[in-house]
Amino acid sequence: MTVAASGPLLETEGLTRRFGGLTAVDHVDFQLFPGEIRALIGPNGAGKTTFVGLLSGRIPPSEGRVRFGGEDVTRLPAHARMARGMAYTFQITSVFANLSLFDNVALAVQRRLARGEGLEAETMAALDRVGLAGRARQTAGDLSYGHQRLLEIAMGLAQRPRLLILDEPTQGLSDGEIEGFKALVRDVAAEATVLLIEHNMDVVMSLATRITVLDMGARLAEGDPAAIHADAAVQRAYLGG
């Protein structure tokens, strides 16, 4: 898919967040186009999770703007951005531990459906996409950490988002599950834009169409995987070259 032919799905201008004397995100300009699988990388403390918190509406900015689908959403809370088609899975799992896998995903489906029609079918379809349909009646809190991450992705997919933001999604997954995750993201990208915050560079380099690198809260570099891998500044700051 050629992404440059249309305007950005998500855009920031001068996006900044300060916590007291610390500037966690420093005047970041960012554009994400429909159909992309974009990776956001950087060393620990680079501001990645704060940045996606600003994108999703969980953290208010100190300065700057966020636009989603051409609309200024800077002051909209997370639930309002979700209603517009943005889904965000967390670095730390946020499943309802005492509910079944089915009920966790059904709650996400219900946010989108005006009526309950098709609730069971759509819930099971989302679980099936992440390989958890056979565990639908299991209690979510009994899952391994990696499988809780997959459940959270199913909850995001159940919302049929225009933008799916995945924060450290492969943490806790086995090598085989990571391969399944890659296939899933490629499948999702046919219908939604994906923003991936990920430390596993094999995953990043094999999935991303473009990569944005943050360092000390600012945008250090941006480009395709080959360009990022060869960038001297990125090598010094993050890749260990």
pLDDT for position 106 = 94
pLDDT tens digits for range 130-176: 999 999 999 999 999 889 989 999 999 999 999 999 988 898 899 99
According to the model, what pLDDT value does residue 192 have?
A: 95
Residue 91 has pLDDT above 70, yes or no: no
Percent of the chain with pLDDT strictly greater than 70: 94
Structural domains of the chain ordered from first start: 34-59+77-239 (3.40.50.300)
- Residue 1 pLDDT: 39
Q: 214 pLDDT exceeds 50? A: yes
Average pLDDT, integer, range 209-217: 95
Which pLDDT value is given to residue 237? 78
pTM of the model: 0.89
- Residue 3 binned pLDDT confidence (cut-offs 50, 70, 90): very low
User: Which residues are registered as beta bridge partners of 197?
Assistant: 40, 167
Given a cut of 90, is residue 92 above it in pLDDT? no
